[in-house]
Structure 1
């Protein structure tokens, strides 16, 4: 959900209001010119000093702002609905989109290049941009939204050939849901590993009770990992991959880091050895490597896309006992 919470005093104190849609006049909500701190969830919001989205503009991205520079001056609020994933703005060094142009797709401090204090017009193709008078996001600023075509900075107060920094607004955190497609599970390999061997010999004419412990506990481990299928693709938000009711894998930034779960398995051994026999006990752990497709649904700003990942596990949970009895020669 996209939401802004505005507070009467700094540090989120005093009266507050929550809004999920545009507010053209905060005075009609009995909250005009009194905002001193802000919390934003989801997409950015634009705050205006005048009603009807006019006057000085300030942008609030997702986060908490215990104090704001426009203390007690905000009169209207507007939610940013533009797609902010692939921002693009073109600056021109002459009015009416003429002269030398510069296409920008990421935050840029123009003081480090040849286009500092050169822009006289612009076209915003994607996203919402803040244009600053000085480098490092300082000085007077102008908010340019998608589709904005400002043909002459002379009409914009104090801005012609004074643009020194451009910044594209960032969208709110994505919501990620995952679905493990167990029906498409693939067993990559299976093998038996002997983890213990116990032997007992009965040279008498009578059945004997096994002299070693008849019950032992072994640890079994399962490693879990996740990776995205597409090379170079990253998931910027963390999410939980639910393997079973007791196991959750936290995935962060597309990490393939593994987690290991430990189980204890109690194995009961045969208790008796026949006369003139040798009993051999092998404790076997079955190691299995499986891979399962994972479908991720990534929702941001009301838009969803699907990505594919893969869950892998290397498991040694299945522990069993194999035993064999063979005769031994009688002692003469």
Structure 2
């Protein structure tokens, strides 16, 4: 959830308040004109020097601000609620959206083109933007938001020199493994065999103990859809306790998967094998040491939360494990 935490003093000290929705008056919150540092999580916020979102304003994207340009000056706070992933704004040369126009979808320094200090009105098709008086984000600024078209600039007329779209905070991902739709394949591979022989007519004592050390691995991975909005390197936690309990993996209940990589863990196990003390007459006793290999595939529902907006995607969790050791006893007449 997007939120802002405002502090009474610099470096996040003193009394603080946390808000998750717009605040038209910090007077009502007993926190007027005392904000000296702040933290933003999720979507950007706009801080105003007057109540009811009036006066001079300053924009804060996700991050920590131990000191502020305007100290002890804010009286209202407004959260940016627009979808910010695909911004677009149209600047117009004259008021009422007339004259030449310029469509922008990325940050642009107008000083390098023919539209510097020209704009007199704008329409925002998508997202939210900050328009600056000077190049390189300098001077006075104006926030431009979708559904809030401005047909006339007043004091900002013919002064726009830089335009920058606001960015959403870091997306969070909630992964829900749909275990009811699990698909599983298993097979057993013989890794070793031990034999005991009794050629006599009577039952014989036969005692031996063997210790072997075997190596197995467990690989966890999540595949994402080709059109995913999840960026490279983004990580999420997955609850694997059901598959762990079913197949007796000696792993934690969760693992963190990162897009573009998989988690592989290798285990070494000591396994003790005891042959029975008695072997029937004319019998060959074979003990097979088996490694069980499991391949589990399960759909994963991923809810991507970016600011106040969420998107649901589906991927696939896959677990390939070969660390389960068992024994199989066979008797043959000889």
Which runs of 5 or more structure 2 residues have no equivalent in the other structure?
243-251
Aligned equivalent of 1:184, options 178, 181, 184? 181
Q: Which residue of 1 aligns with 2:84?
A: 84
Please identify, of 193-202 and 69-78, the stretch whose mean Cα deviation from structure 2 is larger: 193-202
Distance 2:122 2:274 in 1: 81
Instruction: Give the total of aligned pairs.
Output: 321
Residue 156 of structure 1 aligns to a residue whose secondary structure is helix
TM-score (norm 2): 0.82
Alpha-carbon deviation of 1:41? 2.7
Alpha-carbon deviation of 1:308? 0.6
- Is the 8 Å Cα contact of residues 220 and 265 (structure 1) preserved in structure 2? no
Alpha-carbon deviation of 1:269? 3.9
- Is the 8 Å Cα contact of residues 5 and 18 (structure 2) preserved in structure 1? yes
Q: Which residue of 2 aligns with 1:46?
A: 46
Q: Which residue of 1 aligns with 2:238?
A: 241
Distance 1:110 1:95 in 2: 19
Q: Tell me, yes or no, if structure 1 residue 221 matches structure 2 residue 217.
A: yes
Pairing 1:265-276 to 2, within 5 Å after superposition:
266=271, 268-272=273-277, 273=279
Distance 1:29 1:226 in 2: 45
Please identify, of 297-306 and 136-145, the stretch whose mean Cα deviation from structure 2 is larger: 297-306
Distance 1:60 1:238 in 2: 25
CA RMSD of aligned residues (A): 2.9
Distance 1:62 1:288 in 2: 43
Q: Which residue of 1 aligns with 2:155?
A: 156
Q: Tell me, yes or no, if structure 1 residue 258 matches structure 2 residue 263.
A: yes
Residue 180 of structure 2 aligns to a residue whose secondary structure is helix
Distance 1:100 1:184 in 2: 56
Alpha-carbon deviation of 1:296? 1.8
- Is the 8 Å Cα contact of residues 257 and 263 (structure 2) preserved in structure 1? no
* CA offsets 1:257-309 (integer angstroms, 9 cap, x no match): 22436474745342345566554432111222221111122344444432111
Please identify, of 118-127 and 168-177, the stretch whose mean Cα deviation from structure 2 is larger: 168-177
- Is the 8 Å Cα contact of residues 280 and 323 (structure 1) preserved in structure 2? yes
Which runs of 5 or more structure 1 residues have no equivalent in the other structure?
none
